[in-house]
Amino acid sequence: MEENKIYEKEHTINENYRQKPKVAVYVCHCGGNISDVVDVKKVAEELSKYHDVAISREYAFMCSSTGQDYIVEDIQKNGINRVVIAACSPALHELTFRGALQRAGLNPYLYEHVNIREQVSWVHKNDKEGATKKAISLVKAGVEKVLRQDPLNSIRVEAVKTVAVIGGGVSGMRAALSVAKNGLNAVIIEKSDKLGGKLNRSGNVYPTGEKAISVAENLSKEVLSSDKIKVYFNSEITFVSGYVGNFQINVKRKNGEYEKIKAGAIIIATGFDNYKPYEGEYGYGLNKFVLTLPEFIEALEKSGPGKFNYNGKDINSVSFIHCVGSRQIDGIDKPGKNGKINEYCSRVCCTSLINTANNLKTKYPDVEVFDIYTDIRTYGMDHESYYKEASKNDVIFFRRPLEERPSVEFDGAKIKIKTKDVLTMNEDMEIETDMVVLGVGMVPNDITDLVEYMKLPKSSDGFLQEVHPKLRPVEVANNGIFIAGTAQGPMDILESLQASNTAAVKAAALLASGDIPLDPFVAVVDEDKCTGCEKCPKECSYSGALTMIEKEVNGKKKKVAYVNAALCKGCGACAAVCEPRAINVAGWSLDQFDAMVEAIAKE
């Protein structure tokens, strides 16, 4: 594929880094997370005696504005030209501290972050003296590393100002509309022949009570009428390549045509699937009057006036069972095809089930309704009102023990449910009912191919995994790729819409300027040392990141390794196999590692 321009952009910095190194060390209490175990005063005191350390401080919260002000002031007034911060995980506040250095006029990469929370205080709570010694050792290693650090410049890549949205459900449509409103073009890639996803069904959505199909149709009309959104229907993604700012998505259309879509960012809105009970689970598949909740909602919507009739049978009683396919317990519940159980709560099932019970009572007041639950989790705003309404509608609730499952038995035309009831001191209950409705949970859609193409991270529950639930809630570790809605985990429609807007705004902000800044921690080749042995490309896991080219070096043509900085992830696998040490990772050179190891070994 044609590559966008990749270049470095220098930071506006002062020149004091060229002078003799003056390191400042800052040790954070982390509000007791660190200082309750590590003697932070002793760490700061010991580092103050270490060579080339000009200032050593400890403070309650280094990430606070006051903590950052200390750093800025020391750089500007005391000539500090290297910074080491001993605190929590760099995943949380590395960008915060880089920003402080940049505000002070120092190159933001002349800084080393030492994690003494996760790597020290949290794992050595019973050995405070040992934890303190370890912290001192690690911080000294950080000083040795930063002393050998050169100022780095951000890598910049030109960006295609189009966002590709994978999935045309409610999340995908909302994301595309939000992208368009932010002035960018959007492309929706949808595998079916219409937009709307799970909303293309009968029944209402809560909490608004709108018809599901109406919500889908209204959003679909808005999408299809936008001149900034193009929709590919009946399309299957066959490959994804490239990098942030310049992705290429290969798409196969149902009639055999192939398309190549270029995008600067990707939003994954592939949605969810309903848990499918295995044959015999609570009698499912053995009796036509055992339905999943989605199946029952459709049946209720299609039922006529008078008595509730299903499959030629008048239904006088319906029993709902919660947590089918969610909150499963190892050793009690049967694993799925992937060999795993679903331990998570699907979050929306309780409210959806109780809302459906209320709809049933509204339409057919004479039908008896029983509700068998573990815990009722109506977590959304005003969702508790559904439970209160169900109580007023004479829905009878039974709370089963967490580790016991109700049994569903068939005796001719009769269905019997046996369960214990916690509300009556674990009394054994037998419920005779005409119909059983299983409140099935959410499971991730099967997007194995996409996960493989883009090397996407997944949580232990099988959904796509964000970088951080609070700080980067819709971003994955891969630059330029965002997640929206239930591809990330169980959500209701309002939450999905909010997540989609967030992902779209993130993508729009990324592509707003003419280029995209990337961290400079990529492999760098010393062409003089490179022997052209070709070992490093074989070791590289990232397609196109490291190749061999022929180049003139010192007046002679030779084969040398070439790094595509936009594709390189800085993993260091190439450096590990390079015998002449011709490859280093910027900011993590072999010389720096040697010095760090020596500093730790001396302790």
Q: What is the pLDDT of residues 530-578, one digit of tens each?
A: 999 999 999 998 888 999 999 888 888 999 999 998 889 899 999 999 9
Burial class (CB in 10 A: 0-12, 13-18, 19+), 467: middle
The confidence score (pLDDT) of residue 155 equals 87
For 210, residues 6+ apart whose C-beta sits below 8 A from its C-beta are 204
- Collapsing DSSP to helix, strand or coil, 340 comes out as coil
- pLDDT tens, position by position, 202-211: 777 866 778 8
The mean pLDDT of 26-41, rounded to a whole number, is 97
* Domain locations in the chain as residue ranges: 1-154, 162-271+445-512, 276-442, 522-585
Nearest CA among 53, 57, 60 for reference residue 73: 57
**Residue 13: pLDDT over 70:** no
- State how far the Cα of 531 lies from the Cα of 548, in Å rounded to an integer: 11
Nearest CA among 19, 37, 17 for reference residue 28: 37
Which of 369-373, 376-380, 476-480 has the highest average model confidence (pLDDT)? 369-373
Nearest CA among 300, 327, 325, 319 for reference residue 415: 319
The CB density around residue 541, as the number of other CB atoms within 10 Å, is 11
Task: Give the count of alpha carbons within 13 A of 55, CB side only.
Answer: 21
Instruction: Show the tokens assigned to 303.
Output: 């039922």
Nearest CA among 148, 145, 143, 138 for reference residue 601: 138
Domains 162-271+445-512 and 522-585 alike in fold:
no
The confidence score (pLDDT) of residue 2 equals 44
- pLDDT tens, position by position, 236-286: 999 999 889 999 999 999 888 999 999 999 999 999 999 999 999 999 999
For 54, residues 6+ apart whose C-beta sits below 8 A from its C-beta are 22, 23, 24, 78, 79, 80
- Determine how β-strand 162-166 pairs with β-strand 265-268: parallel
Residue 290 CA: distances (Å) to CA of 84, 267, 417, 595: 63, 38, 12, 67
The confidence score (pLDDT) of residue 14 equals 53
The angle, 0 to 180 degrees and rounded to 10, between the axes of the packed helices 128-147 and 590-602 is 150
The torsion region of residue 534 among left (phi > 0), alpha (psi -120 to 50) and beta comes to left
The CATH code that applies to domain 162-271+445-512 is 3.50.50.60
- State how far the Cα of 148 lies from the Cα of 46, in Å rounded to an integer: 21
**Residue 374: pLDDT over 90:** yes
Residue indicated by tokens 């795993």:
340
The confidence score (pLDDT) of residue 206 equals 66
Pairwise pLDDT comparison (471 vs 492), residue with the higher score:
492
Contact assessment for residue 289 and residue 409, using Cβ atoms and an 8 Å cutoff: no
Q: Alpha-carbon dihedral of residues 31, 33, 34, 39, nearest 10 degrees?
A: 80
The CB density around residue 60, as the number of other CB atoms within 10 Å, is 14
Name residue 324's beta-bridge partners: 440
The torsion region of residue 4 among left (phi > 0), alpha (psi -120 to 50) and beta comes to beta
- pLDDT tens, position by position, 466-481: 988 888 899 998 889 9
The residue length of the chain stands at: 603
For 448, residues 6+ apart whose C-beta sits below 8 A from its C-beta are none
The mean pLDDT of 213-237, rounded to a whole number, is 96
Pairwise pLDDT comparison (567 vs 229), residue with the higher score:
229
Instruction: Show the tokens assigned to 309.
Output: 């009739």
The domain 522-585 having CATH identifier 3.30.70.20: the answer here is yes
Residue 163 phi/psi, 5-degree rounding, is -110, 125
Burial class (CB in 10 A: 0-12, 13-18, 19+), 388: exposed
Name residue 396's beta-bridge partners: 370
The confidence score (pLDDT) of residue 9 equals 60
pLDDT > 90: percent of the chain: 84
Nearest CA among 176, 110, 112 for reference residue 143: 112
pLDDT > 70: percent of the chain: 97
The mean pLDDT of 27-56, rounded to a whole number, is 97
Q: Which helix (H) or strand (E) holds 302?
A: helix 293-302
pLDDT band at 457 (very low <50, low <70, confident <90, very high): very high
The angle, 0 to 180 degrees and rounded to 10, between the axes of the packed helices 493-510 and 170-181 is 40
For 582, residues 6+ apart whose C-beta sits below 8 A from its C-beta are 525, 526, 527, 528, 529, 530, 531, 561
Q: Is the peptide bond before 207 cis (omega within 30 degrees of 0)?
A: yes
The confidence score (pLDDT) of residue 520 equals 92
pLDDT averaged over every residue in the chain = 93
Instruction: Show the tokens assigned to 83.
Output: 């910074």
- pLDDT tens, position by position, 75-121: 999 999 999 999 999 988 999 999 999 999 999 999 999 999 999 99
pLDDT band at 382 (very low <50, low <70, confident <90, very high): confident
Contact assessment for residue 237 and residue 253, using Cβ atoms and an 8 Å cutoff: no
**Residue 165: pLDDT over 80:** yes
**Residue 17: pLDDT over 70:** no
For the 276-442 domain, the top CATH level (class) is alpha beta
Pairwise pLDDT comparison (224 vs 17), residue with the higher score:
224
The angle, 0 to 180 degrees and rounded to 10, between the axes of the packed helices 170-181 and 212-224 is 30
Q: Please give the full DSSP string across 414-452, using - where no structure is assigned.
A: EEEEEEEEGGGTSEEEEEEESEEEEEE-EEE---HHHHH
Instruction: Show the tokens assigned to 481.
Output: 């790729």
Fold of 1-154: Rossmann fold (3.40.50)
